[in-house]
């Protein structure tokens, strides 16, 4: 999830059940079965793996660790459970890495953290390990690896799974109110949401047309990026190696005004959007049958279609809408795996990275957890496509997803955006004033980092 829980397509059938799948040792990161066996005999010691997420994800990671320990009998992996909240997970890692602690040896990182972790010197370069094992990097999303994982001429991490923002909608309600397809533009979404909301509130006063992430946290930035880029705007650009912020561009102001209007003018999004709405409250509102449309990450599909879900079998997925004359935009999310530069067991850590990135594990992540693999070859697997036939189409979505700025000071930039975008949603600042102030602070931030 994004990311923040972490980020189209239509008619997705994701199964979010946790079922254990056996990992074939012959498919580990480009090594042959005999080579893997030789390596397992040599490796001895212990590593700590830090990971957070939903309870079912943690349970699945325990199974991954058990299988890895079977493949490498001399190795023990301790799972350090982190919080579900993305910001808490980042702070937990930052505190350990700043102290140059050898633990955790391996960890997952939100794609938005990579700029900070790389520039801070906290990650072990993976190039020598890749060269030594003749490890095949071509199986991963090249756009994601080149944009996020490779910086300053080195490879620092690998994508475990990728995400992008999606539009969920109630297929039964669209049919009930005379719509034959989901909205393609934001204006169409407003019209549909108002019509459905008005009709449904006759029996359900808690019903809303459209729910999305608006609380002051990282998820709000992800949503803001999608509105901005789907209106032809941008947050900034690189010139002579330096990032130049353009937060208060007219297109961005218009996009933020639309976000405000969803709550205060069109009244299709609840007032709690800017105080409470993160991924899970959004998902639960939709899943409980209290919304027509939802912006969320792919993880929500399996939960919406669980056996106990009130909306099971009544949910569709589409690309997020766009403004007239522009294209749909989805924020790139997902999680990447890296090795602590201060780890005292880097060879074991690399073996674990390869195990997690192996074809069979990536396949299991897709089938068992509903994750979108970081490896592109898994998207053609017959078992994966049987369980989730939409994945073949998602490849192009992930390859073209919009990233948040990959800069070392992104956490501080995000805090600026969160503060001012949320202030506009709350009505305490106009969109123009909010982005003007954000622009000033972003410019000062860039100056501080030279």
Placement of tokens 């919304």 in the chain: 291
pTM to 2 decimal places = 0.77
CATH of domain 166-318: 3.40.190.10
Residues of the chain with pLDDT under 70: 1-41, 393
Per DSSP, the residues of 1-45 read --SS-----TT----------PPPGGGSTT--HHHHHHHHHH--E
> What residue segments make up the domains of the chain, in order of their start?
25-162+334-399, 166-318
Structure token pair of residue 19: 């079922």
Asked whether the domain spanning 166-318 has the same topology as the one spanning 25-162+334-399, the reply is yes
411 in Cβ contact with 116 (< 8 Å):
yes
What is the predicted pLDDT for the residue at 177?
A: 98
Q: Please give the pLDDT value at position 406.
A: 85
d(CA 391, CA 439) in angstroms, rounded, equals 38
pLDDT score at 240: 85
Please say whether the beta carbons of 358 and 139 come within 8 A. no
Question: How would you class 59 by CB atoms within 10 Å of its CB: exposed for 0-12, middle for 13-18, buried for 19 or more?
Answer: exposed
Residue 43 and residue 410: Cα distance in Å, rounded? 37
pLDDT at 40: 61
pLDDT tens-place string over residues 8-53: 333 333 333 333 333 333 333 344 333 455 556 589 999 999 999 8
Give CA–CA dist 356/367, Å, rounded: 15
314: nearest Cα among 222, 206, 196: 196
Q: Output the pLDDT for position 63.
A: 97
pLDDT of residue 41: 55
Give the total residue count for the chain: 450
Assigned superfamily of 25-162+334-399: Periplasmic binding protein-like II (3.40.190.10)
| Residue 221 dihedral angles phi and psi, to the nearest 5° | -65, -40
Dihedral sign from CA coordinates of 226, 229, 234, 238: positive
- C-alpha to C-alpha distance for 330 and 97, rounded to whole angstroms: 31
Helix (H) or strand (E) holding 333: strand 332-339
Least Cα distance to 354 among 374, 372, 369 occurs for 374
């Amino acid at each position: 999830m994004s990311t923040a829980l972490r980020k189209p397509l239509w008619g997705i059938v994701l199964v979010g059940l946790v079922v254990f799948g056996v990992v074939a040792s012959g498919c580990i990161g480009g090594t042959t079965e005999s080579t893997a066996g030789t390596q397992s005999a040599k490796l001895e010691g212990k590593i700590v793996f830090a990971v957070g997420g939903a309870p079912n994800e943690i349970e699945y990671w325990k199974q991954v660790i058990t299988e890895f320990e079977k493949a490498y009998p001399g190795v023990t992996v301790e799972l350090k459970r982190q919080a579900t909240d993305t910001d808490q997970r980042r702070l937990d890692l930052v505190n350990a890495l700043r102290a140059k602690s050898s633990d955790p040896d391996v960890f997952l990182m939100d794609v938005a953290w990579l700029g900070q972790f790389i520039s801070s010197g906290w990650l072990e370069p993976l190039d020598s390990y890749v060269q030594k094992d003749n490890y095949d990097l071509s199986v991963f999303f090249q756009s994601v690896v080149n944009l996020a994982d490779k910086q300053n001429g080195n490879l620092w991490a690998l994508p475990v799974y990728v995400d992008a923002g999606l539009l969920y909608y109630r297929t039964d309600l669209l049919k009930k109110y005379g719509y034959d397809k989901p909205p393609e533009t934001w204006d169409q979404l407003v019209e549909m949401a108002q019509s459905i909301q008005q009709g449904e509130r006759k029996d359900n006063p808690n019903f809303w047309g459209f729910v999305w992430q608006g609380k002051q946290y990282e998820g709000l930035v992800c949503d803001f990026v999608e509105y901005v880029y789907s209106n032809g705007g941008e947050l900034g650009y690189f010139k002579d190696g330096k990032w130049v912020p353009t937060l208060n561009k007219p297109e961005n102001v218009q996009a933020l005004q639309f976000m405000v209007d969803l709550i205060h003018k069109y009244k299709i999004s609840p007032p709690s959007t800017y105080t409470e709405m993160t991924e899970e409250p959004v998902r639960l509102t939709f899943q409980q049958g209290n919304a027509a449309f939802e912006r969320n990450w792919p993880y929500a599909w399996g939960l919406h279609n669980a056996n106990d879900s009130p909306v099971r079998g009544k949910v569709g997925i589409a690309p997020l809408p766009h403004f007239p004359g522009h294209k749909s935009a989805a924020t790139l999310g997902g999680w990447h795996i890296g090795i602590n530069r201060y780890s005292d067991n880097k060879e074991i850590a690399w073996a674990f990275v390869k195990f997690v990135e192996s074809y069979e594990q990536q396949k299991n992540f897709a089938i068992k957890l509903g994750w979108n693999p970081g490896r592109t070859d898994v998207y053609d697997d017959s078992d994966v496509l049987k369980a989730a036939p939409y994945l073949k189409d998602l490849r192009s979505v992930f390859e073209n997803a919009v990233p948040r700025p990959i800069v070392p000071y992104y956490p501080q930039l995000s805090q600026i955006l969160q503060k001012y975008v949320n202030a506009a949603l709350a009505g305490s600042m106009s969109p123009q004033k909010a982005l003007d102030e954000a622009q000033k602070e972003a410019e000062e931030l860039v100056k501080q980092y030279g």
